[in-house]
Amino acid sequence: MLSCTDLPLFLWGHTLLTTIYILNRVPSRSVPTTPHEIWFDKKPSLKHVNIWGCTTFVKKLKSEKLETQSLKGSFVGYPKDSLGYEFYIPELKQVVVSNNVIFLVKEFIQEGGSERKIELGEVFAEPEAMP
């Protein structure tokens, strides 16, 4: 998910937590129900699931009259202890939680995301001498 966006690499933890969140709410081959359904004894809703890295506008809590009312950001996950969504705001260089937001899903899909070129290097270990 992180490789399909131009978001900073320090958000890899949010990527991992979002992946786990989604995998716990979809069926798997190993059990006939979802892990969420086994734990909470009810079917999970997927109406609130959004595209990771999607461009958003998050409403500011306080703003002056002639100031912009929202900040542009990217969706990065679901908070553990509250309702809403987590967003990375580049202007503030931080992750914020809010539920007062507009998702620009159609625009994000039309753009096709902005892929990052990731180069993976191989690590070679020296063979150890036998005693």
Q: Per-residue pLDDT tens for 18-47?
A: 999 888 888 878 878 888 888 888 888 888
- The band of 64, judged by pLDDT with boundaries at 50, 70 and 90, is confident
Q: Which residue did the predictor score with more confidence, 122 or 105?
A: 105
In contact, 63 and 82? CB cutoff 8 Å: no
Helices (H), the chain: 12-23, 35-40, 105-111
Is residue 116 very low, low, confident or very high in pLDDT (cuts 50, 70, 90)? low
Residue type, 73: G
- What is this structure's pTM? 0.74
CA pair distance 16, 18, nearest whole angstrom: 5
| Residues, the chain | 131
What are the extents of the domains in the chain?
Answer: 2-111
pLDDT more than 90, % of the chain: 21
- Position 108 scores a pLDDT of 81
For residue 88, the model assigns a pLDDT of 94
Report helix, strand and coil shares of the chain as percent, to nearest 5: 25, 20, 55
Please name the residue that has the structure tokens 């995301």.
113
* Per-residue pLDDT reduced to its tens digit, 70-96: 899 999 999 988 888 999 999 989 999
Phi then psi for residue 28, to 5 deg, are -130, 170
* Separation CA 26–CA 52 (nearest Å): 16
Q: Residue-wise over 3-15: b if at least 16 C-beta within 10 A, else e?
A: eebebeeebeebb
